Amino acid sequence: MKKHSVWGRSLLKWVNGSKKGRWPLASQAVFCQLLADQLASGFSLKQAVTFIRLVDPSLPAVVGEIEQQLASGQSFIPLLAPYLQPNVYFQLWTMTTYGELGDGLQHAAEMLRLMATQRQRLHQLLVYPAGLLVSMLGLFLALQIGVLPQLQAGMGASEAAGFPWPLYLTVGGGLVSLASGVISLAWWRQRTSLQRATSYLRWPILGRLFRAYYAYYLAATLGQLVQSGLSVQQMLTVLQRLPVESLLAQLASELKKRLALGQAPTTWLQQQPYIAPQLVVLLQKGSTTPQLARELQAFGVMQYRELTRRWEGALAVVQPLLLGVVALLIVGAYLSLLLPMYANLQGVTHG
């Protein structure tokens, strides 16, 4: 019990604001993978940390501090809290509470490797359209500030008194957009993690991606807890030790309330869109504990592959969308140049 209280304090401390030291995704993935490999090879935890610090100088220097803190008797998992992605850390904490550290690190490494790879691909896809976008914005501003006023002056266009209506429209639209953004952000922060998870699924293109992620995340975590031999009540107690804003903690709280009222939790689970129907079927089919653990882990592997596939599909859409935005800006730039010239030419002709 003392062990969990220490972990809980570390988690709360991390959530309250020690995010500034987080490692790059690639470093997180390498660290977890190397550590999992060394543990699988028979190294003790202290030996494994010392070994990877010595053989891989590309890892952050703070690995040395982790080694020293580990040698002083501190728990290992809480030491990683400031440096790992929140969702990955929560899953690692949950999976290693009663499970194997090596398996938890392997799962964390796979997820981090996927995130790092896809983020790198996203950056590569964004370079070209983002460059075009910046160039078009610069061209648009140059036309509005430098070219159009000179053309209007050269054609003898009379300057309208006061502010023109396009300026009112632009400023008003900007203020309305800013106010809407602030209100939407305040509303979004008041939503629970379960409500946010439901909302994510409604997003175009990304909704299916989130669905596959939640299926993998829940199946892998639940499979590890089932494999550890815990009862349902014990699993819920473990998950409730996570920070209250985490998805797993809120999910455990809701399930515990329904169990206390004598309700079947599977009925409520079936109504949650972020929980894969196959996951509920596996829980209901009455398998033995070892068999259920294997089924959940196999389903988690399937969903990880599905998550990878959907990531590829989402990335394939990003560049065409940005290029479409650039094309619209090009059209807008030409119209902003040609329409005033056309209007001024008409005024000169009729004059």
pLDDT at position 272 over 80: yes
pLDDT at position 347: 56
Cα–Cα distance between 129 and 186 in angstroms, integer? 31
Compute φ and ψ for 16, nearest 5 degrees: -75, 0
Average pLDDT over the chain, rounded to an integer: 79
If one compares 276 and 7, the residue with the highest pLDDT of the two is 276
Quickly state the pLDDT bin for 19 (edges 50, 70, 90).
very low
Quickly state the pLDDT bin for 170 (edges 50, 70, 90).
low
pLDDT at position 184: 83
| Assigned token pair, 240 | 């409730």
Exposure b/e, 311-347, CB count within 10 A at least 16 = b: beeeeeeebeebeeebeebeeebeebbeebeeebeee
pLDDT at position 121: 78
The model carries a pTM of 0.66
Q: 277 vs 239, 271, 337, CA distance in Å?
A: 21, 9, 55
Cα–Cα distance between 6 and 68 in angstroms, integer? 18
If one compares 146 and 254, the residue with the highest pLDDT of the two is 254
Quickly state the pLDDT bin for 143 (edges 50, 70, 90).
low
pLDDT at position 4: 42
DSSP notation for 290-346: HHHHHHHHHHHHHHHHHHHHHHHHHHHHHHHHHHHHHHHHHHHHHHHHHHHHHHHHH
If one compares 173 and 16, the residue with the highest pLDDT of the two is 173
Q: Is 267 exposed, middle or buried (0-12, 13-18, 19+ CB in 10 A)?
A: exposed
- The distance in angstroms from the start CA to the end CA of the chain is 90
Give the mean model confidence (pLDDT) for residues 133-151.
70
Quickly state the pLDDT bin for 37 (edges 50, 70, 90).
very high
Give the count of beta carbons closer than 10 Å to the beta carbon of residue 145: 9
Condensed to tens digits (0 to 9), the pLDDT of residues 177-223 reads: 888 888 888 888 888 888 899 998 988 878 888 898 899 888 888 88
List of residues 6+ apart from 152 with CB closer than 8 A: 340, 344
> What share of the chain in percent tops pLDDT 70?
79
Highest averaged pLDDT of the listed ranges 77-86, 117-126, 258-267, 327-336: 77-86
Give the mean model confidence (pLDDT) for residues 327-332.
74
The CA radius of gyration of the chain, in Å to the nearest whole number, is 27
- Each domain of the chain, given as residue ranges in start order, spans 2-84, 209-306
pLDDT at position 34: 92
Cα–Cα distance between 126 and 128 in angstroms, integer? 6
Cα–Cα distance between 310 and 291 in angstroms, integer? 28
Give the mean model confidence (pLDDT) for residues 172-176.
76
pLDDT at position 82 over 80: yes
Cα–Cα distance between 217 and 304 in angstroms, integer? 9
